[in-house]
Amino acid sequence: MKVVLFCGGLGMRMREDAASAPKPMAMIGDRPLLWHVMRYYAHFGHTEFVLCLGYGAAAVKDYFLRYDETRSNDFNLTGGGRDVRLFSSDITDWSITFIDTGLTATIGERLARVRPYVADEPMFLANYADTLTDAPLPELLDRFAVGDATASLLAVPVRSTHHVLDVGPDDRVDRIRPLADLMQWENGGYFILRPEIFAELRAGEDLVPHAFDRLLAGRRLMAQPYTGFWRAADTFKDRAELEELYRSARCPWMLWDANRGTAAAADRETAEAGGPVARPGAPALAR
């Protein structure tokens, strides 16, 4: 199944200066956010990618044109450095289509501009290039496939450290609560789409909310609530948290790497303590 990734935005909250690479190219460990998102999809067998480029397109193109497999794979070196034999590979079986979708285009406009590359697909995947999760993608696809919705999105709990106030008529605060306690859901991306979505796209409008708003009347928008791991790298603080998870080998989104997953790290700690090793299954979708 083809995967459309939106990686052409300015990402102002992540930029250090005007020459910064686009947000999806921010590094987590030895690889950029974009690679981590693509590797998640590839883990489930979805290796045909369409990249919607814009700001920083050259950085994205150059990264893959000069891709070095040895950064994230074990290998054998012989012949004084002339011969490299990889023990595994990341992108050998990937197909990546690079499409310039404009510097100022909305997500909806970027999706419309890559229509020729996915319109013949019964279903296709789409996502922001800067959000990470360990959501069980096959389950998401199965639930969507049996219904008649045009679009599906991952619904995740609001992640915010802000607080909301209950204010009385005398302007005195009656209650302070974390925003997360309101049990609201936010758009977590990881879209599953049918080609009918293209009929809802308009120039100058966005996928969310404009196109999705038009799906509501016919109840053609599906939410798949998920309470497991999900992170958006919107700020430097977000990126620092992801980097810390990577350094501590607790990377729930890296389902393809047993050495860095949460379960693997917990196993090591338990084994070192001399206790039994538990291997829980993947987090379930919220029902």
Enumerate domains of the chain plus CATH numbers: 2-71+88-272 (3.90.550.10)
* pLDDT, tens digit (0-9, with 9 covering 90-100), for 120-154: 999 999 999 999 999 999 999 999 999 999 999 99
Between 262 and 268, the higher pLDDT residue: 262
CA separation, residue 42 to residues 39, 45, 49, 57 (Å) = 5, 5, 10, 22
> Which of 18-22, 51-55, 80-84, 102-106 is predicted least confidently?
18-22
The yes-or-no verdict on residue 286 having pLDDT over 70 is no
pLDDT of residue 1: 95
- Please give the Cα distance from 53 to 57 (Å, whole number): 5
pLDDT of residue 283: 45
* pLDDT, tens digit (0-9, with 9 covering 90-100), for 222-250: 999 999 999 999 888 899 999 999 999 99
Q: Count how many residues are written for the chain.
A: 287
CA separation, residue 260 to residues 180, 249, 250, 257, 266 (Å) = 28, 4, 6, 6, 10
The yes-or-no verdict on residue 157 having pLDDT over 60 is yes
Q: Is 111 exposed, middle or buried (0-12, 13-18, 19+ CB in 10 A)?
A: buried
Query: Strand, helix or coil at 165?
Result: strand
* pLDDT, tens digit (0-9, with 9 covering 90-100), for 57-97: 999 999 999 988 888 878 898 887 778 888 878 888 999 99
Check if the beta carbon of residue 265 is closer than 8 Å to that of residue 248: yes
pTM of the model: 0.84
Residues with Cβ within 8 Å of 25's Cβ and at least 6 positions away in sequence, in order, are 32, 33, 34, 56, 59, 60, 63
The yes-or-no verdict on residue 282 having pLDDT over 70 is no
